[in-house]
Chains A and B, each alone.
Chain A
Amino acid sequence: MSGIIFDSTSGEIARIITCDISSNAMQVQPGEDIIATEQTTGIDDSSHYVDVSGAEFVAVEKTLLDITHVISGLSVSFSTLPSGTEVKVGFLSGFSDGSDFEVVFDVPGSHVIKLYGPLAYTNTSVEVNVDST
Chain B
Amino acid sequence: MLTQLNVNKFPARVNAEAHYLNKVDEHAEAVRGAFITQGSGQAMTYMRKSEEAKNPGGGPFLQAEAQALGISVAEVVASVTAANAAWEQAGIQIETARLVAKKQVREAQTASEMHAIVKLLPTV
B: contact size bracket? 10 to 19
Contact A107 B115 (CB under 8 A): yes
Instruction: Check if B40 is an interface residue, CB within 8 A of chain A.
Output: no
Instruction: Check if B116 is an interface residue, CB within 8 A of chain A.
Output: yes
Contact A93 B112 (CB under 8 A): no
The CA-CA distance from A133 to B4 in the complex, in Å, is 22
Contact B5 A93 (CB under 8 A): yes
B90-124 CB mask vs A (1 if < 8 Å, else 0) is 00000000000000000000111101100110000
Of B4, B16, B113, the residue contacting A104 (CB under 8 A) is B4
Mark the stretch among A6-14, A23-31, A44-52, A95-103 that contacts chain B: A95-103
Minimum CB distance partner of A97 in chain B: B3
Residues in chain A near residue B2, CB distance under 8 A: 99-102
Contact B1 A106 (CB under 8 A): no
Within 1-42 of B, Cβ neighbours of A (below 8 Å) are at 1-10, 16
Of B4, B8, B116, B120, the residue contacting A106 (CB under 8 A) is B8
A132-B112, A133-B116 known; A106 and B9 CB under 8 Å? yes
Contact A111 B3 (CB under 8 A): no
Residues in chain B near residue A97, CB distance under 8 A: 1, 3
Instruction: Determine how close the nearest CB of chain A comes to the CB of B3; give it in whole angstroms.
Output: 5
Minimum CB distance partner of B111 in chain A: A106
Instruction: Check if A71 is an interface residue, CB within 8 A of chain B.
Output: no
Prevailing SS type, chain B contact patch: mixed
Total contacting residues, chain A, CB less than 8 A:
24
The CA-CA distance from A132 to B115 in the complex, in Å, is 9
Instruction: Check if A87 is an interface residue, CB within 8 A of chain B.
Output: yes
Instruction: Check if A89 is an interface residue, CB within 8 A of chain B.
Output: yes
Contact B7 A102 (CB under 8 A): no
The CA-CA distance from A109 to B111 in the complex, in Å, is 12
The CA-CA distance from A92 to B9 in the complex, in Å, is 11
Instruction: Check if A90 is an interface residue, CB within 8 A of chain B.
Output: yes
Contact B1 A104 (CB under 8 A): no
Given contacts A89-B7, A92-B6, A107-B112, 17 further A-B contacts (CB under 8 A): A94-B4, A94-B5, A96-B3, A100-B1, A100-B2, A101-B2, A101-B3, A101-B5, A102-B4, A102-B5, A103-B7, A104-B5, A104-B7, A106-B8, A106-B9, A106-B110, A109-B115
